[in-house]
Structure 1
């Protein structure tokens, strides 16, 4: 396992990313197949291709305002465009030998990248990391109007997995997880996001 590799549930045309919201935002998004108020278009939104990292973040939908887990299918070409514009949230030497270069890039960034420790089904940290992408307010409208192909509510699935883990039925729970495989990257994307 390489430490910085993107793993995702994807097809030839789309990739699934996860977000967690309250019921009002989630229901409206599923009904309209795009986001609308009370979703905020004035601040950054983070998308995550790792289901288990999203589960860690929302505590399986038990955190306030993160009760509903949405699986957002976006166009792969949009995802790849985002990766090629991405700037890491910290000046990692492997990507920015000169901190000044990072500073300038960060100030003008429209897409941000962060790598967080991946989790297993028990919530334990793993040796490799999971990517999350921050879409700045300059691109949120485009994300909403052009990138999204389909929005699904995974909350019932999340509840099922949570109940199985509470009963110690980890093998059964694992069988319900979305299948994530290594996502192929262009040379430019690899360089931008600091993959290896």
Structure 2
């Protein structure tokens, strides 16, 4: 019997040294980033940017690349060191009784933290919610600058593969769609690195 998946678990395409996260941008940013392997000057380092290890959650967020301003889907391979730095320095994006001392303490922590975490329902191929959660990692300030300038190993435009997967889903060919998905496996991270990010 298969063990139920933990409610809070990071699943990602990863190697011994990198982890792949997903973002979607308008063509003027997405195409330039994929071409140059880094974000162009139009990418603002002073704004919060959200990275998602889950390909299907990204598809839910960008509507398979059909939403305005999210037409180019990027797979951004970053260092594990950078990803885990962000986790260690992150705060939950919402107050959680039992995890934070009180609402004011959470608010102070949120204002100081260069990263924040949301756990949103993971999605299936039809983009319906699943019972377990998917990590969304918001980067701002120092974390956003480190992401753009230090952590990125490679940037790949995966819009065309995403559209192929979506076409299979529309035709009801879920097995064919599933075979094209990234191999997202549990991402091993020390429990103490996540203890402040979920109950």
Aligned residues: 195
What corresponds to 2:8 in structure 1? 4
Residue of structure 1 equivalent to 2:159: 155
8 Å contact from structure 2 (residues 48, 141) kept in 1: yes
State the distance in 2 between where 1:132 and 1:110 align: 14
Q: Which residue of 1 aligns with 2:60?
A: 56
Whether 1:69 and 2:70 are equivalent positions in the alignment is no
Unaligned runs of 5+ in 1: none
Native 8 Å contact 1:34 1:144 kept in 2:
yes
In structure 2, the gaps of 5 or more residues are: none
1:111 aligns with 115
Match of 1:39 among 43, 49, 74: 43
Q: Partner residue of 2:131? A: 127
Q: Give TM-score scaled by structure 1 length.
A: 0.95
TM-score between both structures, scaled by the size of structure 2: 0.94
Distance in 1 separating the partners of 2:76 and 2:197: 21
CA distance in 2, matches of 1:41, 1:77: 20
Are 2:86 and 2:143, in contact at CA under 8 Å, matched by a contact in 1?
no
Aligned mate of 2:86, from 78, 82, 85? 82
